[in-house]
Amino acid sequence: MLVGLAGLLLLGVLGVTILGGQGRVIVHPGPPQSASSGSTPPSPCPTGACNRFFSPTSIWNQPLAPGAPLDPNSAAVVGNLRSQEASESLGIATKDFGVPIYTVPAAQPKVRVILDQGPAQTALQAAFDSVPLPAGAQEAEGTDANLAVYQPSTDTMWEFWRLHRAPGGAWHASWGGRMYHVSSDPGYYRYVVSPQGRVLELPSWGAPATSFPVVAGVMTIAELRSGVIGHALALAITHTCAGTWAAPAQRSDGDVTGSTNCVPEGAHFRLDPKLDLAALHLPHFVYMMAVAAQRYGIIINNRSDGFTFRGEDPTQFQASHGYNPYTGPDGAPGSPGALYNDYPSEMLRRFPWSHLELLKMVLRTRPDMTRFVERPG
């Protein structure tokens, strides 16, 4: 089970602080390659093959420089991460706790999603009052019940945590967010207002406990079939620092106190750029992940029961193709047409965890209160 939103106790405080806060005002304008061999990683994601949410310079999409500075505490924090990895379950959330991503047209009818948080969260309820959510949409299985809706015509994304339909048919959610100008966004929720001062986005939004969007770092089916993951990977781990996190994360649901070597949520790891991945003879799926981790990194976005990467929910693909793409037409990893070479718990043990490095961090104990002004839509 992904912890998801254990930081909700902070939301009331954040809402009051943000709405009344005085921050700086910044005007913000609104063919596939194989990754199976070769010591040089493939070129960045081919146009149209990968899910390019957020700005090319966002923390998720910006290729890492080989000489990017490491954190002074890199060895100790990586050691903590590795000790957890050695004792925890490893997995990739797809059907359970995965992320269904619905891409909808401009004419998609809109519905109201009722926020089950009471009247204090007026800004988020306003964001949920008109959502182009398809009638037949299915939230992910598991208690997080995540779902994301992206509308390219308006470049707007909505996301939900614990989305469900009540017996009368009305949609409900326990939390989530809405993000305008997704393709140019830095990839995390911020304090954004309209030119008239109306709240458009808050740092407390987002299904993950870090306020990173739920689609950030998700391995989509299209890019996995293309052979290239063109962005950083999101990873949820079991134990993270309590009360502190690494920018640009905005909050945390960490559980570890009194440790100088704990892993902060928002921490950005990467595989040693000098590591020859081809020489490791990794399973193809793990090789794709390793190339992404070397080029873009791995970002801790949440807590989880075990180590959990996230993949796109296969429900829509299964409805149109008749099979789960991860396990293929024969329903077994390693079979013809399956994305998985083996079961994730087995594959991920071969990921080169020992070669991870921690990039230099800026630690925070409060969200970034900088105020951005944008035009909605």
Across the range 50-74, mean pLDDT stands at 92
Beta bridge partners of 99: 312
pLDDT at 38 over 50: no
Handedness of CA 340, 341, 342, 344 (dihedral sign): negative
DSSP 324-369: -TTTTTTTSTTSTT-S-SS-HHHHGGGS-GGGEEEBP--EESS---
Q: What is the CA 298 to chain-centroid distance, rounded? A: 10
- 285-341 pLDDT tens trace: 999 999 999 999 999 999 999 999 999 999 999 999 999 999 999 999 999 999 999
Across the range 137-149, mean pLDDT stands at 97
* CA–CA dist 11, 250 (Å, integer): 11
* Residue 267 pLDDT: 98
pLDDT at 268 over 50: yes
Q: Which two tokens stand for residue 115?
A: 């926020």
Whose CA is closest to 78, among 272, 253, 362? 272
- 66-123 pLDDT tens trace: 999 999 999 999 999 999 999 999 999 999 999 999 999 999 999 999 999 877 799 9
* Residue 2 pLDDT: 56
* Residue 28 pLDDT: 33
- 207-243 pLDDT tens trace: 999 999 999 999 999 999 999 999 999 999 999 999 9
* Residue 164 pLDDT: 97
Average pLDDT over the chain, rounded to an integer: 89
Domain ranges, ordered by start, for the chain: 46-94+216-364
Q: Which two tokens stand for residue 155?
A: 């470049």
Q: Which two tokens stand for residue 328?
A: 């293929």
pLDDT at 29 over 70: no
Q: Which two tokens stand for residue 247?
A: 């920018």
Q: Please give the residue that has the higher pLDDT: either 343 or 13.
A: 343
pLDDT at 57 over 60: yes
296 touches 61 (CB < 8 A): yes
Question: What angle is formed at CA 324 by the lines to CA 323 and CA 325, rounded to 5 degrees?
Answer: 105
Reduced to 3 states, what is the DSSP secondary structure of residue 152?
Answer: coil
* CA–CA dist 321, 149 (Å, integer): 21
**Which DSSP helix (H) or strand (E) runs through 321?**
helix 315-321
pLDDT at 37 over 50: no
Strand order in the sheet with 268-271: 90-93, 307-310, 233-237, 298-303, 268-271, 356-358
* Residue 21 pLDDT: 30
- 166-223 pLDDT tens trace: 999 999 999 999 999 999 999 999 999 999 999 999 999 999 999 999 999 999 999 9
Whose CA is closest to 100, among 124, 130, 126, 133? 133
pLDDT at 24 over 90: no
Three-state SS for 178-246 is EECCHHHCCCCCCEEECCCCCEEECCCCCCCCCCCCCCCCCECHHHHHHCCCCCCEEEEECCCECCCEE
Handedness of CA 222, 226, 231, 235 (dihedral sign): positive
Across the range 22-26, mean pLDDT stands at 35
* Residue 317 pLDDT: 98
181 touches 155 (CB < 8 A): yes
* Residue 337 pLDDT: 96
pLDDT at 23 over 50: no
Whose CA is closest to 301, among 93, 67, 86? 93
pLDDT at 13 over 90: no
Q: Please give the residue that has the higher pLDDT: either 28 or 149.
A: 149
* Residue 120 pLDDT: 73
